[in-house]
Amino acid sequence: MVVVPLQAFLDKYEFPRSGYLFPAHHDGLRGGHLSRQGADWMLRQVCASVGLDGVSTHSFRRSSATNPYRNGEPMAKICRLLGYKNLTMTARYIG
């Protein structure tokens, strides 16, 4: 499932309609997708190279939840964004 604004971006820049947006390369062969751990490792490496500490894929996820909450977005909407099934987990996560 791709949200409408993201789909418009993907269409504009001609990203593939099928397959993985971030394909993995293992031993020179294509196949599969970039793992969550691989994406986190790469992000940390890039950030460290420019002197940014404490940046991770998890910090991006947390910021994508806490910033809208602080700006008045309904917790139910943030719950759906995070993929949680109940507001209790969402409240614990952004609290």
Q: Is residue 38 part of a domain?
A: no
Quick check: 47 and 53 in contact, CB under 8 A? Answer: yes
Q: Is residue 83 part of a domain?
A: yes
Nearest-angstrom CA–CA distance, 54 and 1? 30
Q: Is residue 87 part of a domain?
A: yes
Quick check: 14 and 7 in contact, CB under 8 A? Answer: no
The domain of 64 spans 54-95
Q: What is the pTM of this model?
A: 0.63
How many domains, the chain?
1
Q: Is residue 4 part of a domain?
A: no
Q: Is residue 46 part of a domain?
A: no
pLDDT by 10s per residue, the chain, length 95: 567 777 787 788 777 766 777 777 766 566 678 888 988 999 999 999 999 999 999 998 899 899 999 999 999 999 998 898 889 989 988 87
pLDDT of residue 1: 54
For the chain, the farthest-separated pair of C-alpha atoms sits apart, in whole angstroms, at 47
CA 46 to chain centroid, in Å, comes to 16
